[in-house]
Amino acid sequence: MRPQFLKEGDTVAVIAIASAPSQTQLAANWKAQLESWGLKVKLGKNLTATYPGDFAGTHLQRAQDLQEMILDPEVKAIISIRGGYGTMHTIKNLNLELFKENPKWLVGYSDITILHYALQKMGLESIHGAMCGTFTEEFDGFSQNSLKDALFGNVAAYTTNPHQYNVKGTARGRLIGGNLTLMRNLVATPNDHNFDEPTILFIEDIDERMYTIDSKLWHLRECGHLAKCKGIVVGYFTDTREEDQWQRNVLDLINEYTAPLGIPVMFNFPCGHEHPNASIYLGREVEMSVGESGGVLRFL
């Protein structure tokens, strides 16, 4: 199910579903930026709330903010101000089935992978894209325009440069994924995916040690998820630690898992915890093509 794309005059909601936003994130120019796109902005009641554990309010408060915005007929998209940690604790207090009755875009990445995964399990599309807390002076034009284009339905495809670990080929399937850590955490839970339908998997992560990346990829391989993928898109793996001790970098490690699969693999995809950060439609049927000149990810 695909929500309607935005148009000028529509209302978007900004909420905090995981960690509490910093003062810098709250003060960033995201409200003015969204309004410059012709959008109205509605704020979650607990956007500035705090709770021990660096949460943006209690688990119930954060869930209630999201639930209210799902039910609000004026709201056409819900954008998280930041990720961090804690989205998984809201799931038991949410009725995400209401998204089917009130389809609207959910936007975010990192810890928001929990919600993306749940929505894709239900057959809904969402946007893995920039969150409002990143709308700082360093926020680059590509990331900004990519989010706007995704919300307004103007993202058709992305191209990537060649990479030594790319695996040539063409594949088609539904794009799911996001943060590797969160996907591993969801294995064997009600929101895990069985990968029985043709699937293109997108992965990214930040601030992990080499052994944790290794263990998570091992887990996805051993539970059978990687073997069922039709293609894999590799985004940013930012600030990975202990590469010197492992005598190789994180992309070398990822290649050890992806190369033997015999499916197209696209490295160097500009999406995740860095800029430029391309906004992508999760849950959408896509076609990926990888060749000598690089890769193309096309949204169908």
Catalytic residues: 110, 204, 273
- Beta strands 75-80 and 285-291 are unpaired
Q: Are 139 and 110 in contact (CB under 8 A)?
A: no
Burial-class residue 229 by CB neighbours within 10 Å (0-12, 13-18, 19+). buried
**Distance (Å, whole) CA 194 – CA 69:** 29
Cβ proximity of 150 and 279 under 8 Å: yes
Pairing of strands 285-291, 169-179: antiparallel
| Alpha-helical regions (H) of 111-171 | 113-121, 141-151
Task: Name 69's Cβ contacts closer than 8 Å, sequence gap at least 6.
Answer: 13, 15, 42, 44, 75, 78
Beta strands in 9-60 (DSSP E): 11-15, 40-43
**Contact between 254 and 107 (Cβ < 8 Å):** no
Burial of residue 30 (CB within 10 Å: 0-12, 13-18, 19+) is buried
